[in-house]
Amino acid sequence: MRFVSTRAADAPGVSLRTAMLEGLAPDGGLYVPEAIEPWQPGELSRLRNRTLTEIAYRALRPYTRGELDAAICEAVVVNALNFPIPLVAVEPGIYALELFHGPTLAFKDVGARTMARLMASLDTGDQPLTVLAATSGDTGSAVAHAFHGVPHTRVVILYPEGRVSPTQEAQLTMFNSENGNVRAYAVSGSFDDCHLLTKQAFANAEVRRQVRLTSANSVNIGRLLPQMVYYLHAVAQAQQQLGSIGAVTVCTPSGNFGNLTAGLIARRAGLPVARFVAATNANDVVPTYLATGRFEPRP
């Protein structure tokens, strides 16, 4: 499978390794698969017979084929997804997918842990890889835990001082006292300031010559693709609990809409979703853009 930039879909594609290690395409676009391989209808109707890791392997294999052996791809998902993701009934016809059973209690554990293990399996460079991420809380915690102890990798996380919860800060900085590969730094400013610093680093040619940089934010296709898995796993569990089901409606908490994008990719591959409902809080930049055409990021 090759990956192309959202800004130049007709340009030559790159490998998964290149897409993950570069993070962003040279033109500033995001890497996406050049094609989404569909699931066969018979496969989807038998999801109930598959475990979480079996579903993850099947979902990710089309995008790793040719770069990772099947056994390595299987080992990646088994090691990364070693916690349950149960579908729990709330009331008749309404279910909640519990994505808080990972090591940092955040849904981002799924993408971050899988990405870390994919990078470790794909990266064969001699120079250490530096993973640079800005966070307002749970992203940094998930990334720190996911990459902790991963060989040949160091992680730098920037977070806004005084603007994360005490629990999140404890998770972010828990590895700072070790002589390890993860460091978190408090920045005097907002999350946008942290994000700007990372963007400046990625845009600085001199920095890029001296340091092999990649991103762990949701712009990285290696973090986005694994998030398909829990949509598929949710439908599998619904089949187990209810028997034959039709197309479902999925309500997805949304900020930058990366989580929803993963669901849309799963739907494009054939997952029976009638519609998505994107639930946002006061951070409604994307809904405002869709309604008015004005894109106005704010802290």
Q: In what order do the strands lie in the sheet with 212-215?
A: 182-187, 153-160, 129-134, 212-215
CA separation for the pair 163, 168 (Å, rounded): 10
Closest CA to 132 of 151, 158, 156: 156
Q: Is residue 23 part of a domain?
A: yes
When divided into structural domains, the chain yields a total of 1
Q: What are phi and psi of 30, to 5 degrees?
A: -100, 145
Residue 297 lies in a domain: no
Is residue 197 in some structural domain? yes
Cα(195)–Cα(199) distance, integer angstroms? 6
Q: Which residues contact 91 (CB under 8 A, 6 or more apart)?
A: none
Residue 296 lies in a domain: no
Provide the pLDDT for residue 156: 96
Is 50 inside a domain boundary? yes
pLDDT at 299: 61
Neighbours of 200 (CB within 10 A): 10
Choose, from 17, 108, 233, 267, the residue flagged as catalytic.
Answer: 108
Q: Which CATH number goes with the domain that contains 13?
A: 3.40.50.1100
The pair phi, psi for residue 60, each rounded to 5°, is -90, -20
Q: Residue 140 belongs to what domain range?
A: 3-290
Query: What is d(CA 88, CA 95) in angstroms, rounded to the nearest whole number?
Result: 5
The answer to whether the pTM exceeds 0.85 is yes
Please say whether the dihedral angle defined by the alpha carbons of residues 253, 34, 142 and 96, taken in this order, is positive or negative.
Answer: positive
- Give the whole-angstrom CA distance, residue 34 versus residue 40: 19
Q: Where are the alpha helices (DSSP H) in the chain?
A: 16-22, 41-45, 52-64, 70-80, 108-122, 138-147, 166-173, 191-203, 205-210, 221-224, 228-242, 258-268, 285-292
- SS3 of 168, please? helix
Asked about 199 being catalytic, the answer comes back as no
Domain presence at residue 299: no
The region, left, alpha or beta by phi > 0 then psi within -120 to 50, assigned to residue 172 is alpha
Q: What's the average pLDDT block by block, 10 residues per block, for the chain (299 residues)?
A: 92 94 89 94 90 98 97 98 98 97 95 96 86 88 94 94 92 86 95 90 88 88 97 96 92 93 97 96 91 85
**What are the φ and ψ backbone dihedral angles of 271, each rounded to 5 degrees?**
-60, 130
Q: Tell me, what's the pLDDT at 207?
A: 92
In the prediction, which pLDDT does 55 show?
98
Please report the sign of the dihedral spanned by the C-alpha atoms of residue 9, residue 13, residue 17, residue 23: negative
Domain membership of residue 29 (yes or no) is yes
The answer to whether residue 298 sits within a structural domain is no
